[in-house]
Amino acid sequence: MSEPVVILMTPQMGENIGAAARVMANFGLTDLRIVAPRDGWPNPRAAAMAAGALADVVTARAFENLEDAVSDVGMLVAATARKRELTTPVWSLSQTVAAMGASAGDDAPPAVLFGPEASGLSNDAIARCDAIVSYPVNTDFPSLNLAQAVAVFAFSWAAGGGDAPPVSVDAPPPAAKGDLIALQEHLIDALDRAGFFFPESKADAMKRGVRALLARPGFTLPEVRTLRGAIKALEEGPRPAALRRKAQKAQDDPER
């Protein structure tokens, strides 16, 4: 079974990295990845706080950016406060552990991503994630120490998710089916005009595949609108202003 990878995004203090490694080892996690640590890697303060975990149990590797750190990862979950401006679903710890356990037969391991001490995870990083895992914190004092946040996750994994009740997941409602169908047919018509459904003998099956692919996520209405805008933009190509600039450039360059 694939155990979760722990990823620390641009951590500042070596002590926190070491404490995170120690508690990972306590609860049987062994794959630690560190993205752009402030003080470089390896870090003697981390080794001191790890109480032997970095020498004996946990494999820690540093990466230059998040994309490299997650390239072989399957499910990616962000440990952060929920963001109202993103549609990323919010899971409890027990839901997260259950989902990771169910995905553990996959080739790609699941991973949990923790932000830096001072600022938390950026929206850019969260947008890479399948879900946010939310802790049942005191809203008047919500900010956990980084290594404590890792401790709670690692314990929850070791306990099998049984120690956490589900929090209500108030995912935004999916768009009405009519809006979804309009999106499906918009994309299919555009792809048809582009000659995408080829050869003709496979066209019907390909169209079904495109419809199913768009139906599965439960896109919200704003997402449907964004996707329809994207299809229109791709089909029409650059905006008139850009076109005008292009035309001007062609006039200025008589060899074209």
Write down the least CB distance from residue 234 to a copy of itself, Å.
4
Write down the least CB distance from residue 39 to a copy of itself, Å.
19
What are the two backbone dihedrals, phi and then psi, of residue 111, each rounded to the nearest 5 degrees?
A: -145, 150
Interface residues for a copy of itself in 66-125 (CB under 8 A)?
67, 70-76, 85-89, 92-95, 97-99, 101-103, 106-108, 123-124
Return the structure tokens found at 90: 């919010």
Which of 155, 186, 203, 228 binds a copy of itself (CB under 8 A)? It is: 155
Rank residues 9 and 19 by Cβ distance to a copy of itself and give the closer one: 19
The site string for a copy of itself over 13-32 (x = CB under 8 A, - otherwise) reads ------x--xx-xxxx----
The residues facing 131 across adjacent strands are 77
144 near 135, Cβ under 8 Å?
Answer: yes
Rank residues 241 and 253 by Cβ distance to a copy of itself and give the closer one: 241
DSSP 116: -
The size of the interface with a copy of itself (CB under 8 A), counted in residues, is: 117
Tally Cβ neighbours within 10 Å of residue 64.
9
The site string for a copy of itself over 133-152 (x = CB under 8 A, - otherwise) reads --xxxx-xxxxxx-xx--xx
183 binds a copy of itself (CB under 8 A): no
Rank residues 40 and 249 by Cβ distance to a copy of itself and give the closer one: 249
Distances, alpha carbon 243 to alpha carbons 169, 231, 253, 254, 255, in Å: 45, 18, 15, 17, 18
The site string for a copy of itself over 30-49 (x = CB under 8 A, - otherwise) reads --------------------
Write down the least CB distance from residue 46 to a copy of itself, Å.
14
Write down the least CB distance from residue 71 to a copy of itself, Å.
4
Write down the least CB distance from residue 79 to a copy of itself, Å.
12
104 near 5, Cβ under 8 Å?
Answer: no
Rank residues 62 and 144 by Cβ distance to a copy of itself and give the closer one: 144
234 binds a copy of itself (CB under 8 A): yes
- 94's CB contacts (< 8 A; 6+ apart) are 156, 161, 162, 163, 164, 165, 166
* Sign for the pseudo-dihedral over CA of 37, 40, 45, 51: positive
